[in-house]
Each structure stands twice: as structure tokens, then as C-alpha cells.
Chains A and B, each alone.
Chain A
Amino acid sequence: MSSEQRPILSVRDLKTYFFLDEGTVKAVDGVSFDVYPGQVVGIVGESGCGKSVTVRSVLRIVEKPGRIVAGEIFFRPRKGNGRLLEGSQDGYVDLARLDAQGREMRAIRGAEIALIPQEPMAAFSPVHTIGDQIMETILLHQAVNEEEARRLGIERLREVGIPNPEQRMEAYSWELSGGLRQRAMIAMALSCHPTLLIADEPTTAIDVTTQAQVLNLLRSLQQQHNMSIIFITHDLGVIAQIAEYVLVMYLGRLMETGPVVDIFHHPLHPYTRALLKSIPSVYTRSRTFLPTIEGSIPHPFNRPPGCPFHPRCSQFTAGICDQKTPLLQPVNEQQSVSCFLYHRRAEED
């Protein structure tokens, strides 16, 4: 990755809310980040902090009653996808402005931005063959006939290391083992050579050994195709293995961002520090309790005022942290933090 390059995806102040009868859930509340070509960006955070909603917003598949209420999602499509770029001077399309079910957005989904979901078991239809579902993606986005689509599908299955790909085309997802199923899912996601791959906890549902294999596979495919990946997980160990850049998310906001080395070696935000302390390491004495982050995540309906983390924060300053919401600001060459320990910039309201 070189920082001179222009990002392939640039999310600016994204807000995605769910409007329920009981109230509004601000699942994503002002998130900004960039993804550069060939970069693997990891998003970490506890369950319910809005990781999935962030990437679903990028794909424009947020379900009702959810809606993007503000922000921009600039995406740079391939040169060939010229129709999309009408009226754009710099080669970017704002996905947030497109009709979610319209032709333009559908030409991007699956072809330029692809998704690997958390549960490959449930994400394949149980009554359609794997081949049917892979060929469908190819036929949707590429001008090929059915025979050619089958050939390409078999090629993709072989590429992800599935033995006997010809036979596997006729198999149903439930006939495969967990690892093979996730590989087939990766094959389907990569079937149209996307430039951005979104992997939403792709290894949560499989065992540790298989998990390592799948991660290696993703890594090597990413290098072969020079794809960008947004990789979601709440496993910091996985982030260390695969990501170059990390976004730490809490209650719909980014707490800290930076290269993986800096985040792991000198985390700045108290939340990042707490998160890192809670992972077991070889240095942890056995039979000691793993520290967990104190307190629990507030209910989505009553988000605390000010910094969302302040009720659980060990370093919180009364009168500041509970009054104003800190902005994500660069504090050194690499890292950005939204915390008043490092800067004073707050959201104006």
C-alpha cells in the first residue's frame, strides 16, 4: 500500500439509523475511513457496535427500518464501468446517493464490491446447488453464456482449493464441510473479481485449524488479485494475522484508527487498551482471570451523552467526557483517536 494512491473507498461521516417504534437506534453514528487499493482494513469492536451495519451501508443492503441518514460513501469503480461515472470528474461515485435497488448499485454489488458473510451455511440456499449460485453471479455481471459461466465457476472453485470442483458444482451447501463451504462462499464472492471484498466475520463459524487455512487463503487471493478487503471480526488475534490497518469501533463510532502495528504496540484510546488487555497471550500467567472490560455496553436506545465510552472508561474526566463528544483526530503520523486525553476537538451541536 502506498499512501500517495487514491483510496478505492472513502466513507465520510456515515450515519445509519434504525427507526423502531421504541426509538431510534443509531447503529452507525458518524464514521469516516478510507480503504486503499490492495489494503486490508480490519474493523474490531464488541458485538452490536455497528460493524455489520457499516459494511451493509456500503453495500446498500441495510434492511428496513434502517436507513442511511447522512454521510457519503465515495467508491471508485473500475474504468470499464463508465456509465456509473457520468457527471463525476474525479472517478468516484457516492454510493449513498444511488438507489439501493437500482441498476447502478446492482452493477457494483457482487461485481466490484463482494461480500463474504458470517455463516456460509445459512448464506447458501439449501435447495439450489453451489454451482447454480456461483454461475448466477457470473451470469449477472459478465457477458458470458451458461457453458462459459460453468467453466469460470469450476475455475474459481479450483482456485480456492476445493478438490473435485466439477462434482462440487452439483453439490448442495449442506453436503460440504464447514471449511469447504466457506471456501465455496469465497469462490462465489470472487467470481467476478471484485476490487473490494467485505468479509463479515468469515471465520467465526469454523474451527481454529480451518480458520487459519481460510485466512491464509484470503491473504494469498488478496495478493494475487490486488484486492482491498474490509475484514470484520471481534477477534484481535485474527486482526493481527490479516489486517494492515485497524478501525476500532464502539457504539457506532470509531474510537481509534491506525496501522495494525501501532494499534497493537501503543494503543492510545482507553477502549483500545482495554480491548487488548482482554485477549489471552503467551505472557499471561495461566490460571489468572482474563481481564474483561468493566461495565457493559449500554442499551442502544439510551446512548450516554458525550463520549460513548465514558461510563466504562477508567480515565474519564467529569464535566468534559460526559458533556462533549470527541471527534476522531490524527494525533501522530499514523494514529487517529477520538479521546479528550489527546485533543480537545469535539462535535459541535
Chain B
Amino acid sequence: MTQYIIKRLLLLPLLLFIFSIFAFFVIQAPPGDFVTSYIAELAASGSSMDQAQIDALRAMYGLDRPMYIQYLKWVGRIIRGDLGVSLDWQRPNLELISERLMLTVALGLLTFCFTWAVAIPIGIYSATHQYSFFDYFFTVFNYFGVATPTFMTALVLMWLAFQYFGVSVTGLFSPQYVDAPWTWGRVVDLLRHLWLPAVILGLDGTARLARIMRANLLDELNKPYVEMARAKGMSEWKLVLKYPVRLAINPLISTIGWYLPLIFSGSVIVATVLNLPTIGPMLLRALTNQDMFLAGAIVLIYCGLAVIGTLISDILLAWLDPRIRMEES
């Protein structure tokens, strides 16, 4: 088991290296650079720059150097813990990101917990009560959950909350806490605001997960080991929870890996609609303004999260499934 984990950990630097190249070239892909879009912005507001100024600006940000030099310098700085300065915000990227990263992680984890806590019991109930009224009810509900775009749900809920309760559900803080330093009151205020976006963001995933859980469990319920457990005289719900549920959840564990980054990136539209101070909208803005170092840093963090997520789910899976542990060693 330890050997298995160490093997995975040794792979980490290699993966991150590959991802850094990937991140860098992806953000370089759109034509032009920050200066181009800066000039366009200036032009839109009526002013302009001469060629010398432009060249000076490019030289200042190192944009006139060959691509690989730019990459090496960028990676070199990142290794030293320097994520660079945002060209757009004129503030250190680390500062910009860390503020939002914490909120994003909090929202992501809450969404994740909500999804599992709701989907797994629904899946178990539907499978063990196949074709019952509630099974049909959940099936219909799940179809709606999967088919409705998340931002739509967000808009409808916002409208309902505003129309009937007179509350505005945008943002993650009440006005008096937006720029306040961290206090107990601010944490409570955050939690009061966080659950609704978590529910909105989690609805789609919940519906999907419940459907997969139902299908997996239905498969497992027909397996001979379930009949054997029955023949041993175990009570029905005990044996269902101990054997088939356990085996039906195993394949879901591996979804945690890609679920983590999905929550972060998939929430861009919802975060914009709900005006959440999370990372998604920041990445969107960085990309449109060609704020390449900020965008690169964020993309790299996404990749890091994907790697960590995969690592966590690999470890969980090996811990839960002895067959996988055996294969690896």
C-alpha cells in the first residue's frame, strides 16, 4: 500500500511538468498577446500608442522573446514560488488567486459533500425499490436535474428567492462583510451564503451520480454473493449496505479525480450569474484580456487539482478494493 502511494507520488513532478507545458501553450494559443488587446482597449477609448511605446511595453513583459525562453522563465519563476504579476490587475498573481482559491475550494468541497450525501441514498433507495413510486419520482427528478442547464437553475432560484423572500442570493458575503477581515462573523456569513450555490452547482452532479449509483447497485443486487448473504440469514438492509452498496460505490470513487477540477471550471457561468468571487470568472477575464501569466497560473492550478484529485481517488480505491491493491504490488 505504501509502495503504491510512493509510486504515485513519484509520478507527480513529471505530470506537473507536462501540465505546465500544456498550460503555457494553451494560453499562448489565441492570436496576439496582452499588448495587442491592451492597444485594442486603448483604441476603443479613443487613445493610441506609437510603435516605440508598444515595443518598450513588449520588452518590459518579455513578450518579444522566443516562446521557449518565455516558458522557461515562467516555469523558473513558478518553481521559486513566484507566480508573476497580473498584467491586467497589476497585482501579484499569488495574491489574486489565493484569495479566491480558498472560497473556490470551500464551495467545491461543500458541493461535493452535498452531491454524495444526496445522490448515494437516492441511488440506493431507487435500486432497492425498483419501479416503486419514489423510484419513478427520482428518475423523473434526475432527468430534470441532468437536462436543466445549471445557470438556468441558478437564475430561477435567484428569481424565486428575490420574488418571494426579498433576498438577494448573489455573492458569497453580505455587504458589510465583503471587504471585512476574517472574523467568526464573516465565516458564519459565508456559510449562510455558500449552501445555495453549492446546491445549485451540485444538482446536476447529484442527478448523474444517483443514476449511476442506481444502475451499479441494480447490477450488484443480482450477484450470487447477495443471495449468499441472504442465505446466511443477514437482515436485508444490513446485507445490502455491507455487500452490494460497497461494490457499487467502488467504481464511483474513480470519478472523484476528475470531479474536483470539474467543479472549479464548470462553475464559470454559474459563478458569473451568481456573482461569486471564485476563480472561474477570474480565469474567464484573464483569458479574454490575454492576461497570460494569471491565466497560466490558474490553468496550472487546475491541472494540479486534477492530479491531486486523481491521487486521492487512486489511494481511496486501493484502500477500499483489495483487488486493486494486489494488482499494483
Q: Which positions in A face B, CB cutoff 8 Å?
A: 59, 61, 63, 101, 106-111, 114-115, 117-119, 122-128, 136-137, 140-141, 172, 174-175, 188
Chain B's closest residue to A60 (CB) is: B230
Inter-chain contact B247/A127, CB cutoff 8 Å:
yes
Chain B residues near A172 (CB-CB < 8 A): 322-323, 326
Q: Which positions in B face A, CB cutoff 8 Å?
A: 223-225, 227-236, 242-243, 246-247, 250, 320-323, 326
- With a 10 A CB-CB cut-off, give which of A137, A141, A175 has the most chain B CB atoms: A137
Contacting residue for A106 out of B223, B234, B326, CB 8 A: B234
Chain B's closest residue to A103 (CB) is: B235
Inter-chain contact A101/B235, CB cutoff 8 Å:
yes
Inter-chain contact B224/A109, CB cutoff 8 Å:
no
Contacting residue for B223 out of A122, A136, A137, CB 8 A: A122
Q: Report the minimum CB–CB distance from B128 to chain A (whole Å).
A: 11
Chain B residues near A119 (CB-CB < 8 A): 224
* 5 pairs from A and B in contact (CB 8 Å cutoff): A117-B224, A119-B224, A125-B247, A127-B246, A137-B233
Give complex CA distance A137, B232 in Å: 6
Looking at chain B's contact residues, the main secondary structure is helix
Chain B's closest residue to A185 (CB) is: B228
Contacting residue for B323 out of A101, A127, A141, A188, CB 8 A: A127
Give complex CA distance A140, B232 in Å: 8
Chain A's closest residue to B237 (CB) is: A101
Chain A residues near B224 (CB-CB < 8 A): 117-119, 122-123
Give complex CA distance A124, B225 in Å: 5
Inter-chain contact A136/B227, CB cutoff 8 Å:
no
Chain A residues near B246 (CB-CB < 8 A): 125, 127
Inter-chain contact A136/B234, CB cutoff 8 Å:
yes
Give complex CA distance A128, B320 in Å: 10
Inter-chain contact A115/B231, CB cutoff 8 Å:
yes
Q: Report the minimum CB–CB distance from A14 to chain B (whole Å).
A: 18
Give complex CA distance A107, B230 in Å: 11
Give complex CA distance A107, B233 in Å: 6
Give complex CA distance A175, B223 in Å: 19
Inter-chain contact A108/B233, CB cutoff 8 Å:
yes
Inter-chain contact B322/A140, CB cutoff 8 Å:
no
Give complex CA distance A119, B223 in Å: 11
Chain A residues near B232 (CB-CB < 8 A): 109-110, 136-137, 140, 188
Inter-chain contact A124/B228, CB cutoff 8 Å:
yes
Chain B residues near A108 (CB-CB < 8 A): 233
Inter-chain contact A127/B233, CB cutoff 8 Å:
no
Inter-chain contact A141/B233, CB cutoff 8 Å:
yes
Q: Which 9 A-B pairs have the closest CB atoms?
A: A110-B233, A110-B232, A109-B233, A115-B231, A122-B224, A123-B228, A106-B233, A123-B224, A125-B225
Chain B's closest residue to A124 (CB) is: B225
Contacting residue for A127 out of B234, B236, B321, CB 8 A: B321
Inter-chain contact A126/B323, CB cutoff 8 Å:
yes
Give complex CA distance A107, B232 in Å: 9
Inter-chain contact A117/B323, CB cutoff 8 Å:
no
Chain B residues near A126 (CB-CB < 8 A): 247, 322-323
Inter-chain contact A106/B235, CB cutoff 8 Å:
yes
Inter-chain contact B225/A123, CB cutoff 8 Å:
yes
Inter-chain contact B231/A110, CB cutoff 8 Å:
yes
Inter-chain contact B225/A122, CB cutoff 8 Å:
yes
Inter-chain contact A111/B228, CB cutoff 8 Å:
no
Contact status of A125 and B243, CB under 8 A, knowing A61-B227, A117-B224, A119-B224: yes
Chain A's closest residue to B231 (CB) is: A115
Q: Report the minimum CB–CB distance from A21 to chain B (whole Å).
A: 11
Q: Report the minimum CB–CB distance from A193 to chain B (whole Å).
A: 14
Inter-chain contact A61/B247, CB cutoff 8 Å:
no
Contact status of A127 and B227, CB under 8 A, knowing A106-B233, A106-B234, A110-B232: no
Give complex CA distance A214, B326 in Å: 28
Give complex CA distance A127, B223 in Å: 14
Give complex CA distance A188, B234 in Å: 14
Chain A residues near B247 (CB-CB < 8 A): 125-127
Q: Report the minimum CB–CB distance from B164 to chain A (whole Å).
A: 44
- With a 10 A CB-CB cut-off, give which of B233, B246, B247 has the most chain A CB atoms: B233
Chain A's closest residue to B235 (CB) is: A106
Chain B residues near A106 (CB-CB < 8 A): 233-235
Chain B's closest residue to A122 (CB) is: B224
